[in-house]
Amino acid sequence: MGASPGASCQLANFGPRVVAALIDGALVLWPILLGVVVFMAGTDEGEREPEGFPRLLVFILVFVSLMLFTLNRAFIQGNGGQSWGKTALKLRLVRLADGQPVTQLGAVGRDFLHLVDALIFNIGFLWPLWDERRQTVADKMVRTVVVTEGPTQDGPSWDRLVTGIRSTRMYFAASPAVAAEATRAESRT
């Protein structure tokens, strides 16, 4: 495999990668789904689009989804190699060269280059099924691999998922005092 991502790590199989992506998608897309429901509920019979508040709410919910996506993929995955879904399945995105977690720039570049995976009739997303390093086309372009950090036969772990989501509080902390209070509150539970 060239440079090894780590002695205790092995390349992640396709199935856990798909489940991690589904978890990420569900956590990021719920505001858009809520927006669709609000949009549809705001239309009268025969009306094509709602006016006023429902339209603004849909815009806000789409914005929230985009922010959640950016938080999860660029910041969370870009600082440690694990998105919320990857955390739940003990997967990590690492650089092929040295086995270290991907950087924020690498995470953003990989997500942007997933457009290439999609443009070739989504075959790029299936590439890990037959590739020696189990890489998508985007992984090959940014030189990353997804590894597993332990047995995942027990499937996704709710506890690991919640821990991963709770770790995002550092991005929302307005001050060190807020972060300290969040840590104290978590230790009490």
Q: What is the phi/psi pair of residue 44, to 5°?
A: -85, 165
| Residue 155, domain member (yes or no) | yes
| Residue 4, domain member (yes or no) | no
Q: Please answer whether residues 148 and 10 qualify as being in contact, where contact means their C-beta atoms are separated by less than 8 angstroms.
A: yes
Burial (0-12, 13-18, 19+ Cβ within 10 Å), 28: buried
| Of residues 45 and 173, more confidently modeled | 45
Q: Please answer whether residues 9 and 81 qualify as being in contact, where contact means their C-beta atoms are separated by less than 8 angstroms.
A: no
| Residue 2, domain member (yes or no) | no
**pLDDT tens digit string along 87-131?**
999 999 999 999 999 999 999 999 999 999 999 999 999 999 999
Give the domain extent around 44.
Answer: 10-188
Q: What is the CA radius of gyration of the chain?
A: 19
Beta-strand ranges (E) seen in the chain are: 10-11, 91-95, 144-148
Report pTM: 0.77
| Residue 58, domain member (yes or no) | yes
| Residue 1, domain member (yes or no) | no
pLDDT above 90 covers a percentage of the chain that reads 58
Give the list of residues 6+ apart from residue 94 with CB closer than 8 angstroms, or none. 5, 6, 9, 81, 100, 101, 102, 144, 145, 146, 147
| Residue 138, domain member (yes or no) | yes
* 47 — pLDDT class (breaks 50, 70, 90): low
- If one counts the domains in the chain, the total is 1
Tell whether the model's pLDDT for residue 175 goes beyond 80.
no
Give dist(CA 116, CA 127) in Å, integer.
Answer: 12
Assigned token pair, 16: 């856990």
pLDDT at 154: 57
| Residue 5, domain member (yes or no) | no
Nearest alpha carbon to residue 112 among 133, 87, 136: 136
| Of residues 109 and 58, more confidently modeled | 109
Q: What is the phi/psi pair of residue 82, to 5°?
A: -125, 120
Tell me how crowded residue 21 is: count the other CB atoms within 10 A of its CB. Answer: 14
| Of residues 84 and 40, more confidently modeled | 84
| Residue 19, domain member (yes or no) | yes
